[in-house]
């Protein structure tokens, strides 16, 4: 009787708590027309010089430590971290390819399928969720007619749900490529998306606050003059 009650209770309470997650969760590579080992990749002249500079920062016997910045460099050049990028980095660092695959599949910043020109990452971890990040996600989905994990047909926008991006004090927030947009409302998100569509400069950072001051404004250190610390310190120490 008790077990039936518990099962019945759980059925009524269980509900989806997150949206579908995107490309970083792919744990098995499948060759596609745009991502297979037969597609050649190598750094261009500028990035090759930069890669050599990155590797030089590590002792020769530890050059494998450069795997993460080199994968990032490859992603910035190609637009995503393809299997060819991984194999190229493995060869450059004298690493077994599997070791590079392990890194690329562990860290969510490596996109292992093509993404849009503007890759939108929506944080839905607890602090942002408490600040209504779900409405931010739903607004973006509605405005772009996108589901998380998808890219618009024109290749301009892609959408992904992610875990904490480290700006909890300014939630809800999104990351677009390398830029953070914080303290968002549904209206502010629409403004950002419209600006990106039109190729305009959009306001980066917090939408409503000065850096990360309290939501209702600062309550301390309100004086214009610096505090005279001599009143609070001992000269004999």
Annotated binding site for [2Fe-2S] cluster: 123, 128, 164, 168
In this structure, the strands spanning 174-176 and 157-162 are: unpaired
d(CA 197, CA 236): 64
d(CA 15, CA 66): 42
First-to-last CA distance in the chain?
Answer: 73
d(CA 149, CA 154): 15
Strand order in 174-176's β-sheet? 157-162, 118-123, 174-176, 179-182, 205-206
Q: What is the DSSP string of 150-174?
A: -B-TTSSEEEEEES--S-GGG-S-E
b/e per residue 224-236 (b: at least 16 CB within 10 A): eeeeeeeeeeeee
* Binding site feature residues: 123, 128, 164, 168
């Amino acid at each position: 009787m008790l077990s039936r009650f518990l099962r019945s209770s759980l059925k009524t309470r269980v509900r989806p708590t997150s949206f579908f997650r995107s490309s970083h969760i792919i744990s098995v590579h499948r060759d596609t027309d745009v991502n297979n080992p037969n597609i050649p990749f190598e750094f261009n002249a500028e990035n090759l010089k930069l890669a050599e500079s990155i590797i030089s920062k590590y002792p020769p016997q530890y050059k494998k430590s450069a795997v993460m910045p080199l994968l990032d460099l490859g992603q910035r050049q190609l637009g995503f971290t393809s299997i060819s990028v991984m194999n190229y980095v493995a060869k450059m660092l004298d690493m077994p390819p599997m070791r590079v695959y392990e890194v690329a599949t562990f860290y969510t910043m490596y996109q292992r399928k093509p993404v849009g020109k503007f890759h939108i990452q929506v944080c839905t971890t607890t602090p942002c969720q408490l600040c209504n990040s779900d409405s931010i996600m739903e607004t973006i989905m509605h405005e772009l007619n996108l589901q998380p994990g998808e890219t618009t047909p024109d290749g301009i926008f892609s959408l992904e749900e992610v875990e904490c991006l480290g700006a909890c004090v300014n939630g809800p927030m999104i990351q677009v490529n390398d830029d953070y947009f914080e303290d968002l409302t549904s209206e502010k998100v629409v403004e950002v998306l419209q600006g990106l569509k039109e190729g305009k400069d959009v306001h980066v950072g917090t939408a409503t606050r000065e850096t990360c001051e309290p939501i209702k404004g600062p309550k301390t250190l309100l004086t214009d003059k610096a505090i005279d610390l001599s009143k609070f310190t001992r000269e004999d120490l």
